[in-house]
Chains A and B, each alone.
Chain A
Amino acid sequence: QKEVEQDPGPLSVPEGAIVSLNCTYSNSAFQYFMWYRQYSRKGPELLMYTYSSGNKEDGRFTAQVDKSSKYISLFIRDSQPSDSATYLCAMSAPSGGSYIPTFGRGTSLIVHP
């Protein structure tokens, strides 16, 4: 079993839909939870990060962390074709003074007009 599980999709939705992306994990030591967006032929770009459990909102994006269930989510409201990308979850625990992220495999999102 991988430390971080993420459905690769693809997930295809119409423009304006609410998108829900999810990851599960097994390592209870994870403290920081992140979502990255990666466009084709580009490096990942950090969208949001959350420390421990709870919700965090930034514009159209909402991140949720449920540590008791080892489950994290990213919601995208009013999705746009420009949101079409691969979304990677990542999480980290302290190790020798550093926090090295462990990534999921990414979910491919397609928002069609």
Chain B
Amino acid sequence: ETGVTQSPTHLIKTRGQQVTLRCSSQSGHNTVSWYQQALGQGPQFIFQYYREEENGRGNFPPRFSGLQFPNYSSELNVNALELDDSALYLCASSLKSGGQETQYFGPGTRLLVL
């Protein structure tokens, strides 16, 4: 196990609703990244937070937003849910060191939008 936990494990929402997903980083890690993994696809980068500031963003609309807290736990918020938002949402924590960081993934939250 990586020490990265996510909650909830599964979630069902309806189109137009809002959702908050949570992630607890591995101890000692200061960076968290969020990914969306559609069925049969690889993870797509949503954004990254480093020391509570957004540190990079993928090609996702502003209705995807996030927070990182002083204890390095994190939230992903998605507003105005669409059917295509149905996916596995993964968070990964790492320790920023100036080069390629080893990212440790949580088990994910599976979101279904009806």
When chains A and B are docked, how far (Å) is the Cα of A106 from the Cα of B42? 6
Indicate if the CB atoms of B48 and A98 lie closer than 8 Å.
yes
0/1 string, B24-57, CB within 8 A of A gives 1 = 0000000001000000111111001010000110
Nearest-neighbor residue (CB-CB) of A88 within chain B: B42
- Find chain B residues with CB under 8 A from A104 CB: 42
In-complex Cβ contact of A96 among B2, B43, B55, B106 (8 A): B55
The stretch of B12-20, B61-69, B75-83, B96-104 in contact with A is: B96-104
Are the C-beta atoms of A43 and B33 separated by less than 8 Å? no
Assess the A8–B4 pair: CB atoms within 8 A: no
Q: Name B's interface SS.
A: loop
Q: Does A6 contact B (CB under 8 A)?
A: yes
Residue of B40, B55, B96, B103 with most partner-chain A CB within 10 A: B103
A8 CA to B96 CA, complexed, in Å: 31
A80 interface residue per 8 A CB criterion:
no
Q: B90 contacts A105, CB within 8 Å?
A: no
Minimum CB–CB distance for B34 against chain A, Å: 11
Contacts of A44 in B (CB 8 A): 43, 90, 105
> In the complex, which of the residues A90, A101, A104, A105 has the most CB atoms of chain B within 10 Å of its own CB atom?
A101
Band of interface residues on B: 20 to 34
Q: Is A45 an interface residue (CB 8 A)?
A: yes
Say whether A60 faces chain B, with CB atoms less than 8 Å apart.
no
From A32, A100, A103, B42 is in contact (CB under 8 Å) with A103
CB-CB under 8 A from A102, the residues of chain B are 45
B58 within 8 A of partner (CB): yes
Q: Please pick, from B45, B98, B108, the residue contacting A100 in the complex, using a CB distance under 8 A.
A: B45
Complex Cα distance A88/B106, Å?
A: 16
- Give A contacts to B, CB under 8 Å: 4, 6, 8, 31-32, 34, 41-46, 49, 51, 88, 90, 92, 95-106
Contact residues of B with A, CB < 8 Å? 2, 4, 33, 40-45, 48, 50, 55-56, 58, 90, 92, 96, 98-108
Q: What 4 A-B pairs have minimum CB-CB distances, sorted nearest first?
A: A103-B42, A43-B105, A32-B100, A99-B100
